């Protein structure tokens, strides 16, 4: 299915009621709707989600909203990259039908922060351990978006793998009638995963950041060769990262691919996940691994 909803220009929606009316129109016309939730500062990783949505759906909606409730104290909410005009141009070029870009006051009017959505278990490790409350902010805003935009499918990148699994869990547990589609990580030519926060890196730090993907690829080679002991694999990843330059490692974990439970050895489908601060910029990455033959 790859039908353009209309030849009219992309429509920018900033009010919740207007967005609901537009979605009701799509529903009335029997259109399959794809939603791509973003915080803006769009890059080709985001646009790959738009392209996936376009292939699977009749109409594509992109939300652009920098969500304050998923940022902790001292994090970069105020300085998070905002490139509104470039984002809208990118959406137009990808034939997005609607962009929903509400104000914070619309999504969180006075008193609307008394309710939140919490997914236990999956949120306790990895990024959840060092960013308490982060995933409550994510699941709450995604729930709000799903209520405002009753899409048939929503598209999320695997770069934020923990987020993807948490949202899948939430949707299943709460019987939300929406398909969650995970899409592959999009990388630069040197392997660095695309991220809006890459803009924070200096030229030297950007070169250094190549070590993240290099360390993951080296770990995959070890696993393919038969190494299954997690501590030894983790030590190898850490050495490559620290040898590349000054860095603060938040975590390097090898976890069950579904439960995100840390593994002592690789005896099932797993995910190597890491978070590293380079020059004060927090970067995350991950790679899928399977039991070596």
- The reply to whether 95 falls in a domain is yes
Nearest-angstrom CA–CA distance, 36 and 59: 11
pLDDT at 9: 83
Residue where one domain finishes, among candidates 161, 183, 205: 183
pLDDT at 8: 52
Q: Looking at the structure, do residues 114 and 232 belong to the same domain, yes or no?
A: no
Residue 281's CB: how many other CB atoms inside 10 A? 18
Partnered with residue 183 across adjacent β-strands are 157
Q: Domain limits at 94? A: 11-183
pLDDT at 2: 38
Q: Looking at the structure, do residues 213 and 177 belong to the same domain, yes or no?
A: no
- The reply to whether 6 falls in a domain is no
Q: Looking at the structure, do residues 121 and 21 belong to the same domain, yes or no?
A: yes
Nearest-angstrom CA–CA distance, 135 and 115: 14
DSSP secondary structure of 47-58:
HHHHHHHHHH-S
- The reply to whether 191 falls in a domain is no
Residue where one domain finishes, among candidates 148, 183, 218: 183
Q: Looking at the structure, do residues 170 and 137 belong to the same domain, yes or no?
A: yes
Residue where one domain finishes, among candidates 122, 151, 183: 183
Nearest-angstrom CA–CA distance, 123 and 136: 9
With H, G, I as helix, E, B as strand and everything else as coil, classify residue 181. strand
Q: Looking at the structure, do residues 23 and 63 belong to the same domain, yes or no?
A: yes
What residue has token string 């890196």?
A: 201
| CATH number of the domain where residue 225 is located | 3.30.1300.10
Q: Looking at the structure, do residues 232 and 121 belong to the same domain, yes or no?
A: no
Q: Looking at the structure, do residues 109 and 205 belong to the same domain, yes or no?
A: no
Q: Looking at the structure, do residues 74 and 141 belong to the same domain, yes or no?
A: yes
148 φ, ψ (degrees, to nearest 5): -80, -35
pLDDT at 166: 98
Nearest-angstrom CA–CA distance, 171 and 17: 24
pLDDT at 114: 84
Q: What is the count of structural domains for the chain? A: 2
Query: How many residues in total does the chain contain?
Result: 293
13 φ, ψ (degrees, to nearest 5): -115, 130
pLDDT at 113: 77
With H, G, I as helix, E, B as strand and everything else as coil, classify residue 37. strand
* Residue positions annotated with a catalytic role: 46
Low-confidence ranges of the chain (pLDDT < 50): 1-6
- The reply to whether 113 falls in a domain is yes
- The reply to whether 292 falls in a domain is no
Q: Looking at the structure, do residues 233 and 162 belong to the same domain, yes or no?
A: no
Determine the Cα angle at 172 with ends 170 and 177, to 5°: 105
pLDDT at 293: 67
Q: Looking at the structure, do residues 208 and 231 belong to the same domain, yes or no?
A: yes
| CATH number of the domain where residue 18 is located | 3.40.50.620
Q: Looking at the structure, do residues 162 and 272 belong to the same domain, yes or no?
A: no
Q: Looking at the structure, do residues 207 and 122 belong to the same domain, yes or no?
A: no
């Amino acid at each position: 299915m790859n039908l353009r909803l209309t030849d009219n220009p992309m429509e920018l929606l900033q009010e919740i009621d207007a967005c609901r009316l537009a979605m009701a129109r799509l529903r009335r016309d029997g259109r399959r709707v794809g939603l791509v939730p973003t915080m803006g500062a769009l890059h080709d990783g985001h646009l790959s989600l738009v392209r996936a949505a376009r292939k699977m759906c009749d109409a594509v909606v992109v939300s652009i909203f920098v969500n304050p409730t998923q940022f902790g104290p001292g994090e970069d909410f105020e300085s998070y990259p905002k490139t509104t005009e470039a984002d809208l141009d990118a959406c137009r070029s990808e034939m997005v039908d609607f962009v929903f870009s509400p104000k914070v006051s619309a999504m969180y009017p006075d008193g609307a922060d008394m309710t939140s959505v919490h997914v236990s278990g999956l949120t306790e490790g990895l990024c959840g351990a060092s960013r308490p409350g982060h995933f409550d902010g994510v699941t709450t805003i995604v729930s709000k978006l799903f209520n405002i935009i009753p899409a048939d499918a929503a598209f999320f990148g695997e770069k934020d793998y923990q987020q993807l699994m948490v949202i899948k869990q939430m949707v299943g547990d709460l019987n939300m009638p929406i398909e969650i589609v995970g899409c592959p990580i999009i990388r630069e030519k040197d392997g660095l995963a695309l991220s809006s926060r890459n803009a924070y890196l200096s030229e030297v730090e950007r070169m250094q950041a190549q070590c993240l993907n290099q360390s993951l690829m080296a770990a995959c080679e070890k696993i393919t060769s038969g190494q299954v002991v997690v501590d030894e694999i983790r030590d190898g990843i850490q050495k490559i990262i620290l040898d590349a330059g000054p860095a603060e490692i938040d975590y390097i974990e090898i976890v069950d691919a579904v439960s995100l439970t840390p593994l002592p050895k690789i005896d099932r489908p797993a995910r190597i996940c890491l978070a590293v601060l380079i020059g004060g910029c927090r970067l995350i990455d991950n790679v899928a691994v399977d039991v070596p033959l």
